[in-house]
Structure 1
Amino acid sequence: MRKTLGALLVAAVAAMPLMTETVAAADTNPQPGRGDRLVGANFAGRSEVIAKNGMAATSQPLATQVAVTILQQGGSAADAAIAANAMLGLVEPTGSGVGGDLFALVWDPKTNKLYGLNASGRAPKGQTLEQLRQRLADRDAIPSFGSLSVTVPGAVGGWFDLHKKFGKLPMDKVLAPAIAYAQDGFPLSPFIGQGMARNIKRLLEQKDVEEVENLKKTYLPDGRMPEAGRVFRNPDLARTYSLIAKGGRDAFYKGEVAKTVDAYMKRIGGPLRFEDFADHTSTWVEPVSTNYRGYDVWQIPPNGQGIATLQMLNLLEGYDLKAMGHNSADFVHVMVEAKKLAFADRSRWYADPEFVKVPLQRLISKDYANERRPLIDMAKAGTPDPGKMPESHDTIFLSTADKDGMMVALIQSNYRGMGSGLVPDGLGFMLQDRGEQFALNPQHPNVYAPGKRPFHTIIPGFVTKDGKPWLAYGVMGGAMQPQGHVQVLVNMIDFGMNVQEAGDAARWQHDGSAEPTGAPAEGVGTLFLEQGIAPSVLEELKRRGHNAIYKPGTHYGSYEAIQRDHANGVYRGGTEMRVDGHAAGF
């Protein structure tokens, strides 16, 4: 009997297809040292996670566990997202924290509607453009670090806006896991431990950072650089979280936290003040979308860069990407050229709509894409200018889903890794340096102004199909984000990859487009490729004029996603195999 069962098992396994035909085309490059998967594409790092009652996908395992625990305690997907974000501010300070900003897209099953939240902060109201330029002397850009790059942190305001509208559990219960871990400590994970060491070393070398003793006290309590496996504690952050849990939003924006930041900024000569915190508000916004091959892809409008994703998809819809073959020379070329066109507009038109009239509907229209598409030359790399309009970089992403059908895509960041380098006295978190993204040219839509929101790189993504939620997803990493959003969507929609394979497939990243700060394009730029893209493709891209190179170790974005499988009544989760996170459900 044992022989018969063994023979049947061998025969069954032999008959099983290891991957679909469409995915096989993307999986032809050798991978030395790698074992063979028994299901799905061989390039996939792991299987997608499937669960019925709830799911979380984050960039750090402990944050995923915290989110799932909140869901199991009866919390909503919004509660779980807040809990995970608070946890990530502790365990992944290289990409997040309450010193930064937040954007979110929430599918509400009660109203069958997608909601957008812009919880980004504003420039100091007491500093004019002229005063800023005087402080910068002969510099032509806002420094990457130090007090002149700091804007009001919007994340905590975003938590309470999400909680008020969609929360179920009290906030003290939502924040309790992160508080406990901050007090008791946790072992640093590999990618984050490495990133903390690099960030701290860089920040300690920056002349623009006015004060570093608080940074050392918080992140180097024993004088040693962080590394994987070392237990890290942050009692100051535990205390800050406790203040927020007990005192609510006002504890941060009108209470002890705001007063501490005010005193700290006055001591080091920075422009941010208590009044900037007290006046801060988030904004509920209407998400904008385009339809790509029957799927409605949703983004938050500027001051973020999400509409670059929609512009790219509109351009690419005019090509048969599947016929080109996944990661072929034609495929990568047309994707990169679409990116350049979208980013030319990004550099010129994206800004805070409270201060300028953004030509939003024209930018994301099919007609505009049809006008711009002929600028793509399939034979050579281009350097496009922005289109004509009528007058008028490190982050965390997480996704959660609950038993009722609520799905959240939340992205949060301090910008440039850990942020400005400035840790206010006794608070346990670093202030963001998002203000670096302002332009200084008075004629530019994104020019610095008191109380204005800077251009933002962080973008959550959402997809609906036939009016139902299909995917809550994100790919964090500065200017890589729209590029990554498009790549994973094309992988799923055009090539039939599952939610995990779509993130694991080899990626490209183009750098060197003009910037919303006013920095010009760098010719054709540089096209970085992962080594899973064939050498013959690299050579052909070079022949077409791309400055294409393999660059192992480049951050090609970090991906998390939860897909809604309506046919089976389950969620399917995938996360970035390149770093530390994972998806889990129950």
Structure 2
Amino acid sequence: MRNFHFAGRSTVHAQNAMVATSHPQAALAAIEVMRAGGTAADGAVAASALLAVIEPQSTGIGGDCFALLQPKGEGRITAYNGSGRAPMAADAAWYLERNIHSVPLTSAHAVSVPGAIDAWETILRDHGRLGLDRLLQPAIRAAEEGYVVAPRVAFDWKNQFEKLKGGVNTERYLLPRGKPAIAGDVIRQPELALALRAIAKYGRDAFYRGPVAEDIVETLRGIGGLHTLDDFAAHSTETTTPIGTTYKDLDVWQCPPNGPGITMLLMLNILSRFDLTKFSPVSVERFHLEAEAARIAYMIREQHIGDPAQVKVDVEAILAKEFADEYISKISMERLLDLPDVAPPMHPSTIYITVVDRDRNVCSFINSIAHSFGSAIVSNKTGILLQNRAGGFRIQPGHPNCIAPGKRPLHTIIPALATRRGRAIMPFGVMGGQYQPTGQTRVLTNILDYGLDVQEAIDMPRGLHYEGVYQLEDGVPTDVVTGLQKIGHKTTSLVGPLGGGQAIWIDWDKGTLTGGSDPRKDGCALGY
């Protein structure tokens, strides 16, 4: 139990249904949908659509989506891969002939076909009771009538001002009065509202065919993009079986590649070889072991993972407990492993939503436009901010993540679900670009190794070993920072905190739900 003398958040408790998001209005929208008879999937789509308007730096209908769903919290789990593909003309040779060796993150080449809308419709087809016509109404109202900018959204808006000043149509759509929005401002986006109305009426075809697709393609081709209407019309969501591993007494599930959930599972396999309970939850040893597990797992991801539709990815071998033995056996508490520094192509933003309804249908759901404010390209007429997810490709022939026609890039967004003996225990996720596998690992080990509740587990200070430097939040104590430096870690502080996170713990015996939401964002957990 937390000490009520100190600032903090209580866990949220309910019996019927619960949602946790990064914005209170989105959480409320999901609760209202479920009170009206909607499922967890309905609530997640309603919340995601609203966040696509009111949290524009993190998500949008011009982005991608992944989800894990388990009906009634038991039995078969389905993974939905709503990531978009590169244009069919996007061949590595085309870029190399033009001396382009990495994808420019604010160019048309960084925009893959957005997959979110098709994913929403597919998920609702399988798990929803309500349609897009009903579920998009809160988002339509927010875009049409206006929404109030929240503090974290304003923080990111200010930090991305220079990027937005140089974007395509961003001054018109995202810089009111030529300045970044501040907390308390009211923002209206009538053009986006019209696009959302079309999707609500006609479904996914309104986005991938007809005037909306024509506007996006015209915008992109006007600045050098290779996209065609056929690329949009051909897009589809992949329905798959999740991949998993076991940590303590829980089975942990992730979407398979091209998602990077395999990275988190590999981190758990590495950390399972150590007794974390021997160390304080905020200690040099715990931070060091987490960093070493991340360094190994991220290196293996960069070496082996790409779109399995186009390259061979041996998931079974990578998730074998002995797979990383040659590295694990060399982990020392006195020094860093001698490993190459991994420099992933991108370090983006996102939103995560977790929902459990009164029938215990479980939805772990994530939607993203990649980097903060995506590509900083907004479609000419429809006001749709486009992702820069294709910036995650390598332009390196032979690399598993090399750009290719119709290929999906190695992603960063990962919804997670923990089960016990086949029953859902905790749908959870941690946002923050490359931090996500580390963040999910940290939250889960906070709970299973240190006995923290979901809110305490999310609140705890964080670090990310990224590109050879340990990025540490302000909450990491000075003695821990100094101790990490003494054993060889290069450390740095951060402008913004590492990601955000949400989780719901299901107590089947008591028939209750316990939720937590990250104070690093504006959101909350709500239940009834």
TM-score of the superposition, structure 1-length normalised? 0.86
Query: Which letter maps to 1:170?
Result: G
Farther off after superposition, 165-174 or 484-493: 165-174
Asked whether 1:542 is paired with 2:489, we answer no
Query: Which letter maps to 2:8?
Result: G
Matched with 1:560 is 502
Asked whether 1:342 is paired with 2:342, we answer no
Alpha-carbon shift at residue 371 of structure 1 (Å): 4.3
Matched with 2:4 is 37
Alpha-carbon shift at residue 552 of structure 1 (Å): 4.9
Query: Which letter maps to 1:94?
Result: Q
Asked whether 1:174 is paired with 2:135, we answer yes
Contact persistence 2:90–2:403 (CA under 8 A): no
Query: Which letter maps to 1:351?
Result: G
CA deviation vs aligned residue, 1:388-416 (integer Å, no higher than 9, x gap) = xxxxx111111111000011111111111
**Secondary structure of 1:367 counterpart:** coil
Residue 511 (structure 2) aligned to one of 569, 575, 578: 569
Q: Distance in 2 between matches of 1:502 and 1:151?
A: 34
Farther off after superposition, 488-497 or 222-231: 222-231
**Secondary structure of 1:453 counterpart:** coil
Query: Which letter maps to 2:489?
Result: H
Compared CA separation, residues 128 and 282, structure 1 to 2 (3 A): same
Query: Which letter maps to 1:538?
Result: V
Contact persistence 1:237–1:429 (CA under 8 A): yes
Q: Distance in 1 between matches of 2:90 and 2:432?
A: 29
Contact persistence 2:64–2:367 (CA under 8 A): yes
Farther off after superposition, 120-129 or 529-538: 529-538
Residue 580 (structure 1) aligned to one of 504, 522, 528: 522
Contact persistence 1:471–1:564 (CA under 8 A): yes
Contact persistence 1:50–1:572 (CA under 8 A): yes
Query: Which letter maps to 1:454?
Result: P
Matched with 2:19 is 56
Matched with 1:12 is none
Matched with 1:300 is 255
Q: Distance in 2 between matches of 1:312 and 1:395?
A: 21
Contact persistence 2:164–2:174 (CA under 8 A): no
Contact persistence 1:102–1:412 (CA under 8 A): yes
Query: Which letter maps to 1:483?
Result: T
Q: Distance in 1 between matches of 2:392 and 2:207?
A: 24
Contact persistence 1:341–1:385 (CA under 8 A): no
Contact persistence 1:261–1:274 (CA under 8 A): no
Matched with 1:15 is none
Alpha-carbon shift at residue 110 of structure 1 (Å): 7.9
Compared CA separation, residues 198 and 528, structure 1 to 2 (3 A): closer
CA deviation vs aligned residue, 1:522-566 (integer Å, no higher than 9, x gap) = xxx1112233333222222111111124x2533312111111111
Contact persistence 2:164–2:171 (CA under 8 A): no
Alpha-carbon shift at residue 511 of structure 1 (Å): 1.1
Q: Distance in 1 between matches of 2:242 and 2:38?
A: 25
Matches within 5 A, 1:138-177: 139-177=100-138
Alpha-carbon shift at residue 204 of structure 1 (Å): 2.2
CA deviation vs aligned residue, 1:371-401 (integer Å, no higher than 9, x gap) = 4310212210123259xxxxxx111111111
Q: Distance in 2 between matches of 1:111 and 1:526?
A: 41
Matched with 1:419 is 374
CA deviation vs aligned residue, 1:278-297 (integer Å, no higher than 9, x gap) = 00011011100000011101
Residue 88 (structure 2) aligned to one of 111, 125, 135: 125
- The structure having more radius of gyration, on CA atoms, is 1
Matched with 2:388 is 433
Alpha-carbon shift at residue 490 of structure 1 (Å): 0.4
Q: Distance in 2 between matches of 1:110 and 1:448?
A: 37
Contact persistence 2:74–2:424 (CA under 8 A): no
Q: Distance in 1 between matches of 2:350 and 2:337?
A: 30
Matched with 1:506 is 461
Percent sequence identity over aligned pairs: 38
Q: Distance in 2 between matches of 1:378 and 1:162?
A: 45
Contact persistence 2:24–2:523 (CA under 8 A): yes
Q: Distance in 2 between matches of 1:166 and 1:256?
A: 29
Matches within 5 A, 1:515-534: 525-534=468-477
Matched with 1:72 is 35
Asked whether 1:183 is paired with 2:144, we answer yes
Matched with 2:344 is none
CA deviation vs aligned residue, 1:320-356 (integer Å, no higher than 9, x gap) = 1011121211111111111111011011111000001
Alpha-carbon shift at residue 221 of structure 1 (Å): 4.1
Matches within 5 A, 1:73-92: 73-92=36-55
Number of corresponding residues: 522
Segments of structure 1 that go 5 or more residues without pairing to the other structure are 1-17, 20-35, 387-392, 513-524
Contact persistence 2:20–2:27 (CA under 8 A): yes
Alpha-carbon shift at residue 448 of structure 1 (Å): 0.7
Matched with 1:494 is 449
Runs (4+) off by over 6 Å:
none
Matched with 2:345 is none
**Secondary structure of 1:260 counterpart:** helix
Alpha-carbon shift at residue 182 of structure 1 (Å): 1.2
Contact persistence 1:575–1:581 (CA under 8 A): yes
